[in-house]
């Protein structure tokens, strides 16, 4: 190609790009084409004489998705293909149908001109009626979230291939696909922007990675769901192209560095998501100082990554796959740090949290550095908790008072303290645990007061989650100290499937500080002198846990 021709081509491409951007800017009407917000110069939807019309421009816009697609299926795979035809006519192949639009205004569908009442001209634009665009596999929905009309295309193909296991989805409009691992045998894929004409379930025999595909379509909401059943959890990864209705779901134990951020310790924490439970091994190495974490039996397809961090003691994070089936994450440190590993989802999610270093012989003050305590005052706002037998006594406000006293005690010892609530307001359990898991306090302590039908019941119970040895250790120390401080009846250390214990990834306990249904204990708890003793006991137990090096 000559230089002149190359320049001409560059100019043409530039002109085309400018035309595209100016067209996009000029448009002041918006609509969702599948999952993509698209702008138009004219209203994309019209209501006339009780009929719904959409502009031909919305349908012709779909061609650009096929043309622009890169990682996309080949043209033959595509649900939408465009072919400009001589004489100012363009024809679009959409979901197996052909829509042709001539410069003169005629519109044909599969070679047949549309009926007069299926076409509408308005403001120099052409619109086609619902019956016609539905023949192209399009449904008009309204997204109440985006407050926009949505043209949802039909999913023209869903193919499952067993080796290597992958599910391919092709839709006439762009779709966004999100997958959720429901449990060890179920994955749900939400397909936003596409609907399914066929919801017949498919079974796959034997020991296949996928044993069953179930479907649910909600065309009126512009979305559909695919329910995947597996004999055992494999993990998966969604690849999709935002410009075309194409998504490929690959099954396998894929490694994903979900996030990294500065945690409550002042140092970095990494959040790693795996497809299925997997083993991890860590080593802290000197010269140069670094923390190495190896994940075995996992897949990593991306390029080796070096992420510059420079937060706390972490200079950079390196992620790569040096040996097959093993992914290595290296944290390059400016100086040696402590760290801990928190595990969730049965070993499919790991948190690696760096902590300020503490030598084995360090004084208690040094051992408290960077070890944050999160205090969770139970209930609040519209949920007052248990009522006391004495009038005006409510659990939620007592919890908050004890929480504040506990915070003061911990603060005096040199701890940083975080609260899930600091005032009398409703806070959902999920909000509390999401907050804890995002900032990763060293420990999580939930403060409650008890109630029961038997009015003679008194005493303190301390709960932990059954499968958390660290929680059991923390509960034992807190319970021992709170009993010593208050002289209350010992109602034991117990396990329970409480939400805040189950869903927090760090060691967590829940203290039931006494029975509001017993008149004596209710009177004690209503007295701030007694609450100070409760708070001091809990604080001492937490401090013993942390300075004890657990």
Residues that are catalytic: 512
Distance in angstroms (rounded) separating the CA atoms of residues 183 and 166: 19
Q: Are strands 373-377 and 443-450 parallel, antiparallel or unpaired?
A: parallel
- Count of residues interacting with Zn ion (CB under 5 A): 3
Distance in angstroms (rounded) separating the CA atoms of residues 442 and 421: 18
In the bound state with Zn ion, the residue whose beta carbon lies nearer, of 421 and 448, is: 448
Position 165 contacts Zn ion (CB under 5 A):
no
CB of 457 to Zn ion, least distance (A): 15
In the bound state with Zn ion, the residue whose beta carbon lies nearer, of 173 and 451, is: 451
CB of 448 to Zn ion, least distance (A): 4
x-marked contacts with Zn ion along 98-117 as a string, rule CB under 5 A = --------------------
CB of 433 to Zn ion, least distance (A): 15
In the bound state with Zn ion, the residue whose beta carbon lies nearer, of 21 and 428, is: 428
Which of the stretches 50-58, 212-220, 406-414, 440-448 binds Zn ion when contact is defined by CB under 5 A?
Answer: 440-448
- What number of residues does the chain have? 550
CB of 372 to Zn ion, least distance (A): 23
Which of the stretches 54-62, 165-173, 297-305, 445-453 binds Zn ion when contact is defined by CB under 5 A?
Answer: 445-453
Which of the stretches 62-70, 151-159, 265-273, 372-380 binds Zn ion when contact is defined by CB under 5 A?
Answer: 372-380
**H or E, element range at 403:** helix 395-413
Q: How far from chain centre, in Å, is Cα 11?
A: 43
Q: CB atoms < 10 A from the CB of 497, how many?
A: 9
**Beta-sheet strand order (sheet of 490-495):** 417-419, 373-377, 443-450, 508-515, 460-464, 490-495
In the bound state with Zn ion, the residue whose beta carbon lies nearer, of 355 and 386, is: 386
On the question of a cis peptide bond just before residue 288, with omega within 30 degrees of 0, the verdict is yes
Position 448 contacts Zn ion (CB under 5 A):
yes
Find the residue with minimal CB distance to Zn ion.
Answer: 448
Position 380 contacts Zn ion (CB under 5 A):
no
Which of the stretches 348-356, 379-387, 451-459, 471-479 binds Zn ion when contact is defined by CB under 5 A?
Answer: 379-387
CB of 375 to Zn ion, least distance (A): 14
In the bound state with Zn ion, the residue whose beta carbon lies nearer, of 220 and 383, is: 383
Cα first-last separation, the chain: 71
Position 378 contacts Zn ion (CB under 5 A):
yes
**Beta-sheet strand order (sheet of 186-192):** 176-183, 186-192, 223-229, 212-218, 202-203
Instruction: Look at residues 484, 511, 492, 506 and name the one whose alpha carbon lies nearest to residue 550.
Output: 506
Torsion of CA 155, 159, 160, 165, to 10 degrees: -100
CB of 442 to Zn ion, least distance (A): 23
**H or E, element range at 455:** none
Q: Which residues bind Zn ion (CB under 5 A)?
A: 378, 385, 448
């Amino acid at each position: 190609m000559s230089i002149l021709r190359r320049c001409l081509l560059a100019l043409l491409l530039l002109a085309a790009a400018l035309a595209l951007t100016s067209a996009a800017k000029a448009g002041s009407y918006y609509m969702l084409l599948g999952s993509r917000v698209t702008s138009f110069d004219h209203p994309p939807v019209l209501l006339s004489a009780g009929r719904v019309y959409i502009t031909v421009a919305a349908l012709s816009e779909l061609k650009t998705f096929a043309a622009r697609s890169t990682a996309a299926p080949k043209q033959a795979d595509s649900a939408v293909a465009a072919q400009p035809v001589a004489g100012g006519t363009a024809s679009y192949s959409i979901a197996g149908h052909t829509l042709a639009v001539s410069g003169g205004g005629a519109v044909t569908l599969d070679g047949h001109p549309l009926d007069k009442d299926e076409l509408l001209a308005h403001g120099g634009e052409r619109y086609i009626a619902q019956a016609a665009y539905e023949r192209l596999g399009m449904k008009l929905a309204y997204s109440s979230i985006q407050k926009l009309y949505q043209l949802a295309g039909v999913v023209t193909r869903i193919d499952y291939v067993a080796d290597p296991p992958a599910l391919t989805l092709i839709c006439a409009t762009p779709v966004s696909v999100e997958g959720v691992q429901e449990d060890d045998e179920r994955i749900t894929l939400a397909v936003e922007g596409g609907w399914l004409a066929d919801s017949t379930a498919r079974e796959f025999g034997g020991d296949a990675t996928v044993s069953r595909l179930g479907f649910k379509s909600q065309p009126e909401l512009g979305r559909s769901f695919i329910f995947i059943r597996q004999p055992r959890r494999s993990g998966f990864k969604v690849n999709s192209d935002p410009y075309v209705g194409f998504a490929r779901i690959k099954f396998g134990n894929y490694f994903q560095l979900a996030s990294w951020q500065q945690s409550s310790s002042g140092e970095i924490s990494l959040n790693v998501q795996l497809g299925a439970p997997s083993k991890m091994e860590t080593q802290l190495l000197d010269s140069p100082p670094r923390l190495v974490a190896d994940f075995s039996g996992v897949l990593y397809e991306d390029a080796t990554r070096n992420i510059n961090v420079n937060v706390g003691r972490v200079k950079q994070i390196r992620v790569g796959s040096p040996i097959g089936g093993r992914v290595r994450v290296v944290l390059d440190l400016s100086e040696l740090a402590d760290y801990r590993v928190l595990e969730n989802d049965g070993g499919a999610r790991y948190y690696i949290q760096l902590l300020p270093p503490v030598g084995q012989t360090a004084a208690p003050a040094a051992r408290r550095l960077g070890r944050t305590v999160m205090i969770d005052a139970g209930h609040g706002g519209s949920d007052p908790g248990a009522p006391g037998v004495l009038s005006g006594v409510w659990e939620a406000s007592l919890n908050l008072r004890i929480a504040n006293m506990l915070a003061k005690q911990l603060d005096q010892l040199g701890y940083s303290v975080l609260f899930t609530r600091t005032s009398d307001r409703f806070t959902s359990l999920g909000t509390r645990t999401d907050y804890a898991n995002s900032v990763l306090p060293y420990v999580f302590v939930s403060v409650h007061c008890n109630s029961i039908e038997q009015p003679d019941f008194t005493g303190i119970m301390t709960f932990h989650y059954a499968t958390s040895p660290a929680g059991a250790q923390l509960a034992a120390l807190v319970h021992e100290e709170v009993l010593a401080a208050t002289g209350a009846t010992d109602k034991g250390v117990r396990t329970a499937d409480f939400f805040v214990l189950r869903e927090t990834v760090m060691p967590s306990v829940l203290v039931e500080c006494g029975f509001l249904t017993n008149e004596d204990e209710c009177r004690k708890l209503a007295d701030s002198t007694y609450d100070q003793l409760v708070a001091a006991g809990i604080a001492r137990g937490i401090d013993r846990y942390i300075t004890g090096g657990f």
